[in-house]
Structure 1
Amino acid sequence: MSLHPRIEQVTERIRKRSEKSRRAYLDGIDAANRQGPHRARLSCGNLAHAFAACGPTDKGRLRADVAPNLGIVTAYNDMLSAHQPFEHYPERVRRLARELGGTAQVAGGVPAMCDGVTQGRPGMELSLFSRDVIAQATAVSLSHDMFDAALYLGVCDKIVPGLLIGALAFGHLPAVFVPAGPMTPGIPNKEKAAVRERYAAGEATREELLQAESDSYHAPGTCTFYGTANSNQVLLEAMGLQLPGTSFVNPDTPLRDALTDASVERALRITALGSDYRPIGQLIDERAIVNAMAALMATGGSTNHTIHWVAVARAAGLGLTWDDIDQISQTVPLLARVYPNGEADVNRFAAAGGTAFVFRELLDAGLMHDLPTIVPGGMRAFCDEPRIEAGKLTYSPGVAQSADREVTRGVAEAFEAQGGLRLLRGNLGRALIKTSAVKPEYRTIEAPAVVVDDPKTLNKLHAAGALPQDFVAVVRYQGPKANGMPELHSLAPLLGLLQNQGRRVALVTDGRLSGASGKIPAAIHVTPEASAGGAIAKLREGDIVRLDAEAGTLEALVDPAEWKSRTAAPNTAPAGYDLGRNLFGFSRAKVSPADQGALSISCGPPSPEGGDWDYDAEYELGHDAAAAAAPHEAVDA
């Protein structure tokens, strides 16, 4: 089927606005390609240092410079359940590369922190900036010019975007991302959330809470809810950067091992030393970025990617805006219900058809580009599922119909006509809301504001019985410049508890929420943030705030004259400079706004005229007409 006109429109808009920066990026790749494989240009001293620790076989191949050498960039540590399986991957990769006539070396390691451990803790203020540190560490890892392609071992929240930004800085190198897979199911996510809410109400003990958490997060592998980590995997597949069907195969299984081996083999085949050269910088164009966002909307994925993929696009010389993301979301239907926007975990999602089913539906409806990937066959290859047959990895077509209609559905019977996210606009600025996890009856609220600068204050107000029956919790000074934009998932149990009691509540913040957050209406990533003079700092206790996710508005219902005359309230939250936070002062001072990727590093070629992409006005010119049309007019026709 031909491409949906609105998907085509967004893609073309990104291409046009990015012409100069994209050209500059591709020129850099071409210059690197003309010089040939970089290892050949190393001096004898350089090369001797690089293979000094290798065995005779690898050393001979590296001396001769005729065999491909894979760089392994790993985010392994054994505190993260999702990354613990990577411990033995380098050994396996080196052995297989050697058997296939190549070589492989660990190029370097990158930090990998767990947001699940740092929720509500000072470490969360380092979380977003860790993405940029990972990008820099990736660049350092690849800086030796020893490699013909790279394998990236990473799964979780900021880690994959950081690896991806770093990989795009070496756009002339082919890249294959290699996941580790999710842990097997524990207790249902809904049951875990219920214990959290009971604990917030004082009805469960700490021991009960710890047992529920331990029964949920119980083994090696990615957490099983559909948060940022698992969204990462879907987006990588949607851009064609990891093998089809690799996202949700459990660790330490024959199929997982076979896919890892196949990833090594594929990386060896697509270097510049062969006839099937596929550098990452050429594969990741505006079509790949649109595919990632379409997959995010169709599956109801994490809001964090509205920040991360703006940064990823910029690393490839492309300008992606929240307006683009919003229009994609209004065009692509919701095809999956996975916790927190459903009750299933990612294991059940995979069993119901998973990415192969969702991608085929999107391709057939013209809602996703068919484009070159790291494997032959383009995106259509990602509509097949991996199997082990007679001890070998094979692929067969994915299910033609959903195997579980409570979890996945086709475009013709989608859960909702629009995707999982919505851009909000109004006199408070711009924000995003994850609508897929919020029941329709809760998507609009008009209530007085309870304004705090420290999230912990809200719990104290609740304990003192000082919260109104219905209210909008405004948590400000949580943006990138203020304190690194921590996730505020620790507020979810309290607000969810209050909503269960029949009270109308919502959250408005310039901070972030965990990819696991849902249920309550939350306008997050408010931009401009309070520390940058944003209007959220002008809100006062008791102001009436209206959040309407269906209409896409976020407003303080304050007399316009009074609103104009107000000044920003000062930040009353205590400043944190201990536990490593002092080391990121430069990042907080230099970071870009959330809608421009919250970048604290230089990333990709300069945007037009050295400024920032802001195409809000351009988008608005055609927005009314587009919004007036039925979401699936072209599909239904």
Structure 2
Amino acid sequence: MTATAAIEAVTTRIRERSKPSRELYLARIDEAAGRGPHRQVLSCGNLAHGFAACGPADKAALSADRVANLGIITAYNDMLSAHQPFETFPALIKAAAHEAGGVAQVAGGVPAMCDGVTQGRPGMELSLFSRDLIAMAAAVGLSHDMFDAAVYLGVCDKIVPGLVTAALTFGHLPAIFIPAGPMTSGLPNDEKARIRQLYAEGKVGRDELLEAESKSYHGPGTCTFYGTANSNQMLMEIMGLHLPGASFVNPGTPLRDALTKEAARRALEITALGNDYRPAGRMIDERSIVNGVVGLNATGGSTNHTIHLIAMAAAAGIKLTWQDIADISEAVPLLARVYPNGLADVNHFNAAGGMGFLIRELLAAGLLHEDVSTVWGEGLAPYTVEAKLGKDGQVIRQPSPEKSGDAKVLTTHQKPFQATGGLKVMSGNLGHAIIKTSAVKPERRVIEAPAIVFDSQEELNAAFKEGRLDRDFVAVVRFQGPKANGMPELHRLTTVLGVLQDRGHKVALVTDGRMSGASGKVPAAIHVTPEAIDGGPIGRIDTGDMIRVDGEAGILEAFVNEAELERRPAPAPDLSANEHGLGRELFAGFRELAGRADEGAAVF
């Protein structure tokens, strides 16, 4: 089967599998759209409350339903670098809307937490659940029924998936996502990683570590490595929810502001009151979701999206599975090398040709559905461009370069970095898992070694500091799934395991938790399903059991007789420490309701 045929086959089976739920979803959003501009159904008291703080001109416009009203959903806060630039965006959007004859109001704010701040801390146990909370918070803002379209201001890990879930839940409304862009390049990512490992080994102190981290994360914008935040931006562009060329323009630049204003104007044009109505729920379909998965694999994107994409698709009645993602991975070559899959950062990626070059190459290889609907129009070909600032301060677009600006960062489909995307589903007597091999050297992708079992990442780190891990082993870190403790990222294990690997040991990780979107150096079978607290076999592994982690063949297996594994009692760990502190007590209901990782780990 050709790569193109493989992509078509996966798309067809998603469409067939999703038909009942998709038809029901479309009927619901069509019914909502059929009621027309929703301010018509508001009572005078309702409407007066809705525009009480507006100026006279906006009140007159909204009372007569003469113009479109944009609802702004913002994830702004000024602690997090990625979201701090959004402080000025509402004013830009409102000004652009007025210039175009429309109105814009901030409909609501949503929380935005940073996994980089909470790594290894109790707050990380709220992170995955914040995605669904963000969707719910956005729904509260849009539930006032005052809006003809929504623009979404969000960037990072759980924020964009949560906002997409909200946008598709309100699928009768057009939706445009407006990014803030990455911070300028700082300390190279490989140097940052080197200092982290030296610190873990006790060879440099905290002052040196903090200096390196501060030089890496140094200003407004997203972190520059290719983790979940920047994978989000890639997804929004390749799925047609960004304007062409918008993803990786630095904040605080004239081009960034021009793109924001242009997005507001375009949002007005695609409302039911405009000339090109594009409801988000109709626009995003099975082809759009497949295009997102293709982009994820072609760029070596975040493993977190093997969870988030399933939840996002489900919001539109589309049933995506891990097997779909894995089959697409087998058909899609790796075209980008951005840290942790290489030494470059996203600014280097953008300078080498960025999204325009990538999309053009994938289209040329027949790996993307070109015939999709986007916020820009029909077809994906208009996204094979670079955005520039014209002399009049408006955005102009030029065809993406024919040749990569740096072939070590971004390559063609004829000369890929590797033949497959590197995301693979693993199966065996321990259940199902995900492994990302694109950042793992080929000689380290198959590990067979005795297990050392831990019930927390703290236990593993303590064992390392005590010198008990200088050997070949597979670290089994269990009770880290959604139901157990909210499925925190275990990114801090990357440094410890990386040190042991660099000492010449064969090491791997098996866990029902998550790793960071920036992880990959050490082979890691993650998102193991069923999780230990649900009776998954990972909970019955004993220290000393031989484990095979085969990232090439997709095998995750314990060399334990099946009957013996079944006879072993399921452990009953004390998880009470996960239930209180830094807000975790407020999320008890989320832990109880959380679904399986391979079904999106959603609470609704």
TM-score interval, normalised by the smaller of the two chains = over 0.9
Give the conservation status (yes or no) of the 8 Å contact 1:508–1:523. yes
Q: In the alignment, what sits opposite 2:545?
A: 543
Shift of 1:570: 2.4
Shift of 1:450: 0.7
Q: 2: CA distance between counterparts of 1:314 and 1:363?
A: 26
| More moved, 436-445 vs 377-386 | 377-386
Q: 1: CA distance between counterparts of 2:448 and 2:379?
A: 47
Q: Deviations over 1:236-257 (max 9, x none)?
A: 1111001011110000111111
Shift of 1:571: 2.1
Q: 2: CA distance between counterparts of 1:548 and 1:15?
A: 31
Q: In the alignment, what sits opposite 2:587?
A: 584
Q: Which amino acid aligns with 1:579?
A: L
Q: In the alignment, what sits opposite 1:132?
A: 132
Q: Deviations over 1:515-563 (max 9, x none)?
A: 1112000000000000111010010001110000000100001133322
Matches within 5 A, 1:279-298: 279-298=279-298
**Is 1:383 aligned with 2:388?**
no
Q: In the alignment, what sits opposite 1:237?
A: 237
Give the conservation status (yes or no) of the 8 Å contact 1:352–1:407. yes
Shift of 1:26: 0.4
Q: Deviations over 1:334-383 (max 9, x none)?
A: 00000001000000000111111111111111111011101124211110
Q: 2: CA distance between counterparts of 1:537 and 1:334?
A: 34
Matches within 5 A, 1:424-463: 424-463=426-465
**Is 1:395 aligned with 2:360?**
no
Q: In the alignment, what sits opposite 2:47?
A: 47
Q: 2: CA distance between counterparts of 1:363 and 1:187?
A: 34
Shift of 1:29: 1.3
Q: 1: CA distance between counterparts of 2:574 and 2:174?
A: 48
Matches within 5 A, 1:258-269: 258-269=258-269
Q: 2: CA distance between counterparts of 1:110 and 1:377?
A: 31
Q: Which amino acid aligns with 2:83?
A: H
Shift of 1:275: 2.1
Q: Which amino acid aligns with 2:560?
A: V
| More moved, 153-162 vs 57-66 | 57-66
Give the conservation status (yes or no) of the 8 Å contact 1:150–1:174. yes
Q: Deviations over 1:171-204 (max 9, x none)?
A: 0000000000000000100000000000000001
Q: 2: CA distance between counterparts of 1:133 and 1:573?
A: 23
Q: 2: CA distance between counterparts of 1:71 and 1:560?
A: 56
**Is 1:149 aligned with 2:149?**
yes
Matches within 5 A, 1:92-171: 92-171=92-171
Give the conservation status (yes or no) of the 8 Å contact 2:3–2:332. no
| More moved, 202-211 vs 92-101 | 92-101
Q: 2: CA distance between counterparts of 1:574 and 1:146?
A: 44
Matches within 5 A, 1:515-594: 515-572=517-574, 575-576=577-578, 577-594=580-597
Give the conservation status (yes or no) of the 8 Å contact 2:307–2:597. yes
**Aligned match for 1:500, one of 502, 508, 514:** 502
SS at match of 2:334: coil
Q: Deviations over 1:110-134 (max 9, x none)?
A: 0000100000000000000000000
SS at match of 1:246: coil
Give the conservation status (yes or no) of the 8 Å contact 1:235–1:292. yes
Matches within 5 A, 1:12-91: 12-91=12-91
Give the conservation status (yes or no) of the 8 Å contact 2:470–2:500. no
Q: Which amino acid aligns with 1:546?
A: R
Q: Which amino acid aligns with 1:589?
A: E
SS at match of 1:275: coil
Q: Which amino acid aligns with 1:86?
A: F
> In the superposition, relative to structure 1, how do residues 495 and 230 fare at CA in structure 2: closer, same or farther (>3 Å)?
same
Q: 1: CA distance between counterparts of 2:254 and 2:566?
A: 64
Shift of 1:572: 4.9
Q: Deviations over 1:55-78 (max 9, x none)?
A: 111111111111010000000000
SS at match of 1:71: strand
SS at match of 2:152: strand
Matches within 5 A, 1:135-214: 135-214=135-214
**Is 1:509 aligned with 2:511?**
yes
Q: 2: CA distance between counterparts of 1:221 and 1:420?
A: 28
Shift of 1:575: 2.4
SS at match of 2:207: helix
Q: In the alignment, what sits opposite 2:419?
A: 417
Q: 2: CA distance between counterparts of 1:375 and 1:465?
A: 57
> In the superposition, relative to structure 1, how do residues 528 and 508 fare at CA in structure 2: closer, same or farther (>3 Å)?
same
Q: Which amino acid aligns with 1:551?
A: A
**Is 1:334 aligned with 2:331?**
no
Give the conservation status (yes or no) of the 8 Å contact 1:301–1:420. no
Q: Which amino acid aligns with 2:277?
A: Y
Q: In the alignment, what sits opposite 2:5?
A: 5
Q: In the alignment, what sits opposite 1:607?
A: none
Give the conservation status (yes or no) of the 8 Å contact 1:3–1:368. no
Shift of 1:3: 7.9
Q: Deviations over 1:242-298 (max 9, x none)?
A: 101111000011111111111011001000012200000001110000000000000
What is the percentage of aligned positions where both structures have the same residue?
Answer: 63
Shift of 1:567: 2.5
Give the conservation status (yes or no) of the 8 Å contact 1:243–1:375. yes
Q: 2: CA distance between counterparts of 1:469 and 1:422?
A: 27
Give the conservation status (yes or no) of the 8 Å contact 1:453–1:573. no
SS at match of 2:380: helix
Shift of 1:460: 1.1
Q: 1: CA distance between counterparts of 2:11 and 2:170?
A: 24
Q: 2: CA distance between counterparts of 1:100 and 1:374?
A: 17
Give the conservation status (yes or no) of the 8 Å contact 2:92–2:257. no
Shift of 1:397: 0.4
Q: In the alignment, what sits opposite 1:626?
A: none
SS at match of 1:4: helix
Unpaired runs of 5+ residues, structure 1, are 602-637
SS at match of 1:502: coil
Give the conservation status (yes or no) of the 8 Å contact 1:433–1:549. yes
Shift of 1:401: 1.8
Give the conservation status (yes or no) of the 8 Å contact 1:342–1:437. yes
Q: Which amino acid aligns with 2:486?
A: G
Give the conservation status (yes or no) of the 8 Å contact 1:291–1:369. yes
Q: Which amino acid aligns with 1:417?
A: A
Count of paired positions: 600
SS at match of 1:272: coil
Shift of 1:393: 1.2
Q: In the alignment, what sits opposite 1:478?
A: 480
Unpaired runs of 5+ residues, structure 2, are none
**Aligned match for 2:599, one of 592, 596, 599:** 596
Q: In the alignment, what sits opposite 1:606?
A: none
> In the superposition, relative to structure 1, how do residues 347 and 527 fare at CA in structure 2: closer, same or farther (>3 Å)?
same
SS at match of 1:330: helix
Q: 2: CA distance between counterparts of 1:328 and 1:339?
A: 22
Q: 2: CA distance between counterparts of 1:209 and 1:73?
A: 36
Q: 2: CA distance between counterparts of 1:139 and 1:573?
A: 32
Q: 1: CA distance between counterparts of 2:207 and 2:185?
A: 21
Shift of 1:506: 0.7
Give the conservation status (yes or no) of the 8 Å contact 1:425–1:552. yes
Q: 2: CA distance between counterparts of 1:487 and 1:3?
A: 33
Q: In the alignment, what sits opposite 1:373?
A: 374
